[in-house]
Structure 1
Amino acid sequence: MEPFNSAFGKNVSFVHPAYFIISGFIGLPNMKYYYVFLFFVFIISVLANMAVMTVICLDYNLRAPKYVAVFNLAFVDLLGSCALVPKVLDIFLFNHYYVSYNDCMTFLFFCYTCLSMQALNLVALCYDRLMAIMYPLHYQAKVTHKIMFSVIASFWLFAIIADLTAVGLLTRLSFCRSVVINSYFCDHGLMFELACNDNFPNIVISFLLPIFILWLPMIFILSSYICIAFALFKVAAVKERTKALKTCTGHLSLVAIYFIPILITFTIGPEIHPNARIINLSLTSVFPPMLNPVVYVLYTQEIRLSIKKILKLTQRDKVMAT
């Protein structure tokens, strides 16, 4: 983070506290049961996403470019859950409310990067559906492994640079007002508000990040489905139209699961109670990683058939072994 600090002068010194205090819920009793609930959601999320990744790796039929994005989504969900939930459980179930300065910055970076990639990965999946329905005859040329890998890699690069910039700008702040973060994790917005020196660059980055990571992806997805809807209305056969809609149902479910709770939180803004904000954001962080693999298994016939085939092979091997 030295380049960020040196840009503001070599003789500038910053007050970096030894630790931050994560306050969590305010005035609510028995909230440990809520974190136990998050623990079970976390276990289901880890197992489900590992299962989806394993199935895609084992089945040669799932090597289409689309499943590069599906695999990446499962990987991001798994990484995001492992970055967030164990630390949250450690803080609130085992009363380790004091988080060191460096741990807090690392915690923030990984959580924000994974949340960013979840939104951007939905754009990659939307691109696949858009090309499949708008240009069915040219789909194989427009959605190749090279293109999908390039899209996913560019999204990863953007997310890492953007969130690394946000964390880097935090390191030039002096935290001499307070070290108490009124959230369930090291929240960027609540952290730079604790600074006693100029935090204008942090305000700018906190304004730009939601635009590029939430609003623009959502606008692209909504615009794509408007185009898809117009294209489907031109299809004469009701059967073909219904079949095309079914291929979009899973992706639309993922979009709703991810974006609606976040948009509610950002729309209400400062008026939302801190406890309600924590519940909304924490559920937004843990529920999509748990539900994404479930939705894809339910709505993707290829994955269902692959799971059945793997289970049959496993049962046959057990029978032969006995």
Structure 2
Amino acid sequence: MVEANQSRVSEFLLLGLSRQPQQQQQLLFLLFLTMYLATVLGNLLILLAISMDSHLHIPMYFFLCNLSFVDTYFSSTTVPKVLANHVLRSHTISFSECLTQMYFVFMFMDMDNFLLAVIAYDRFVAVCHPLHYSAKMTPQLCALLVTGSWVTASLDMLLHTLLMARLSFCADNAIPHFFCDVTPLLKLSCSDTHLNEVVILTEGALIMITPFVCILVSYVLITCAVLRIPSTKGRWKAFSTCGSHLAVVFLFYGTIIFLYFNPLSSHAAETDVAAGVMFSVVTPMLNPFIYSLRNQDIKGALGKVIAMKFFSAQ
């Protein structure tokens, strides 16, 4: 079926940013480049700090390390293609490359989704059951949570990719987006997309909403525990941390729910592109700053790494 599709449409055109005036395209190029470099640098610094400091080899930083790894590749599935298209003045992407990009974009989106829930659960255990933290968050459980997340995300996106591959694309091949997103691809299809939409609204909703509910429940319980802290300074610090985490969570889930759990007819190209930038570029850039680089342990580990490299170069 994929071969039949390719005989009709062998490539797509990614027009999400190319329809802007030339001056705005230059600004968008610089903006995407800056955000991508910040994402890669921030996440690589976290990976380096955690891997080189044995004091950080605990569950919380194990999950943060996985989040940094995922966010690095999440951003790398879309932004380099945008930058290359701008430099080469080419906006084409083959049918197979389009499906591959879609698979990895949404697999890493699922992984972000699962890891944010796992981190929220880890913080719930640490705050609400500190005396039982080591007994509950065992290395086996941590490995199982991360492995289960990878397996579930991979199988979920394999289902959506196979469903997309069965569709026919007959005429228009212009995608009004900067990556191969599900919604504009479904709009371009000349096949019946009812099954795809049903799967997105059922299985896809279950995959996204369940971790979101877990995050909200975890932070509600954390808030209740924080309110019992006698120190005002301690409560403010805890609320500040939880508030920043929840801000990223609502940004991530808000844009995804807006994009994928509405009828196809209600989508406008400009708002879809803006929402796509928020969850696939902005959120991976913010995660290292919100979850890690504001953390004193991470800052201390980074200081040690930088000092070690500096003195070794002397």
User: TM (normalized to structure 1)?
Assistant: 0.86
**Greater radius of gyration (CA):** 1
- Residues 298, 304 of structure 1: 8 Å contact kept: yes
Q: CA deviation at 1:211?
A: 1.3
Which residue of 2 is the match for residue 28 of structure 1?
20
Question: Residues 317 and 195 (structure 1 numbering): CA distance in 2 closer, same or farther, change over 3 Å?
Answer: closer
1:99 alignment partner, SS class: strand
| Alignment counterpart, residue 147 of structure 1, candidates 132, 135, 141 | 141
- Residues 168, 190 of structure 2: 8 Å contact kept: yes
Q: CA deviation at 1:26?
A: 7.4
User: TM (normalized to structure 2)?
Assistant: 0.88
> 2-side partners of 1:144 and 1:44: how far apart?
33
User: Match of 2:46, as an amino acid?
Assistant: V
Which residue of 2 is the match for residue 52 of structure 1?
46
- Residues 36, 285 of structure 2: 8 Å contact kept: yes
> 2-side partners of 1:231 and 1:297: how far apart?
22
Identity %: 28
- Residues 99, 161 of structure 2: 8 Å contact kept: yes
Matched, 1:219 2:209: no
> 2-side partners of 1:90 and 1:209: how far apart?
34
Q: CA deviation at 1:210?
A: 4.2
Which residue of 2 is the match for residue 8 of structure 1?
none
- Superposed, which structure 2 residues align to 1:248-287 within 5 Å? 248-265=242-259, 271=266, 273-287=268-282
Say which is worse superposed, 303-312 or 97-106, in terms of deviation.
303-312
> 1-side partners of 2:103 and 2:307: how far apart?
42
Question: Residues 187 and 264 (structure 1 numbering): CA distance in 2 closer, same or farther, change over 3 Å?
Answer: closer
Q: CA deviation at 1:23?
A: 2.2
- Residues 250, 299 of structure 1: 8 Å contact kept: no
Aligned residues: 309
Which residue of 2 is the match for residue 96 of structure 1?
90
2:93 alignment partner, SS class: strand
Matched, 1:314 2:314: no
> 1-side partners of 2:35 and 2:281: how far apart?
7
Q: CA deviation at 1:38?
A: 0.2
Per-residue Cα deviation, 1:207-243 (whole angstroms, up to 9, x for no partner): 1354134322222111211122223334445455445
- Superposed, which structure 2 residues align to 1:278-297 within 5 Å? 278-297=273-292
Which residue of 2 is the match for residue 9 of structure 1?
none
Say which is worse superposed, 27-36 or 62-71, in terms of deviation.
27-36
- Residues 133, 244 of structure 1: 8 Å contact kept: no
- Residues 55, 306 of structure 1: 8 Å contact kept: yes
